[in-house]
Amino acid sequence: MTVPVRSLEFADPREAADLAAFLGRLLHYDRAAAVRMQAGGGALAVFGRPPSFEVLAIRTARLSGPDDGFDVTVSAGELLESLGESTGTGAVPAPVTGPPWTGVLPPRGGWRELPGLPDPVSLRAAVTAAVAEFRSRDEALPEERRTRAERDLIGREIWSRTVAGTGLPLRAVHAAQSLGFLRPAPDFPVALLTAGSWLRLRTPYGSVALRGPGSGLGPLNLSVGTG
């Protein structure tokens, strides 16, 4: 039996282009990446998890046309191939069996803002300094200690540091930067939000949320998205 193809119509072609850029970044870290798509109320949210950061990345877009809502996990590569960046259209690929993270998403509501988050320029500077520190410490390792395990220890120590006493790990900011959520822009509001055991770094291009220890998520610590 042929399964009807569900089409996507974006409110603006730039929405399709931004989503394509996001998917491209996910595929850079995992060529076999899957994403979970949720649509409703004229909006689309796409969730992914780049393994290098152990994050749940979310990008949202505005939709136009008929909207009956859906929730499906698909291939990130197939979704990217379907997008028409000039026409602002796309198609929902056939469903795939999702990895475990697709069953654990941040809450949709109940978020409140927390104080103390540095401005975007300071956040980007903190990531740059951390990357430089990692490289310096890695290069300083004696040959017999230049192992993956030793480098992982250095990375965990650096990226687990919190930002300005907010409780937000520096690795969350690194993820947001690498996924294109902290790129320079005029009038660039960022906010740190909390809901239950989750923290969320929200920017105009995406959000990064993490769940605290003891949440039952294993190594999954972070998530990213807009809105």
For residue 152, give both structure tokens.
């992982």
Q: Give the pLDDT of the chain (227 residues) as one tens digit per residue.
A: 345 568 999 999 999 999 999 999 999 989 999 999 999 989 999 998 888 787 788 899 999 876 678 999 999 999 999 999 999 999 999 999 989 989 988 998 899 999 999 999 999 999 999 999 999 999 999 988 889 899 999 999 999 999 998 989 999 899 999 999 998 776 778 999 999 988 899 998 888 888 865 444 334 333 333 34
For residue 141, give both structure tokens.
């390792």
CA distance 187 to 15: 19
Other beta carbons less than 10 A from residue 40's beta carbon: 13
What is the residue extent of each domain of the chain?
Answer: 6-103, 112-224
Selected from 2.60.40, 3.40.50, 3.10.150, 3.30.160, the CATH number assigned to the domain covering 6-103 reads 3.10.150
pLDDT of residue 63: 93
Interval 51-69: pLDDT, tens: 878 778 889 999 987 667 8
For residue 83, give both structure tokens.
């997008």
Burial 133-152 (b: 16+ CB within 10 A, else e): ebeebeeeeeeeeeeeeeee
For residue 108, give both structure tokens.
């949709």
pLDDT of residue 35: 96
Nearest residue to 190 (alpha-carbon basis) of 118, 107, 109, 112: 118
CA distance 73 to 107: 18
pTM of the model: 0.84
Question: How does DSSP assign 7-49, residue by residue?
Answer: EEEBSSHHHHHHHHHHHHHHHHH-TT-EEEEEEETTEEEEEE-
Helix axes 148-159, 170-178, angle to 10 degrees: 100
By the 8 A CB rule, do 120 and 203 touch? yes
CA distance 210 to 196: 11
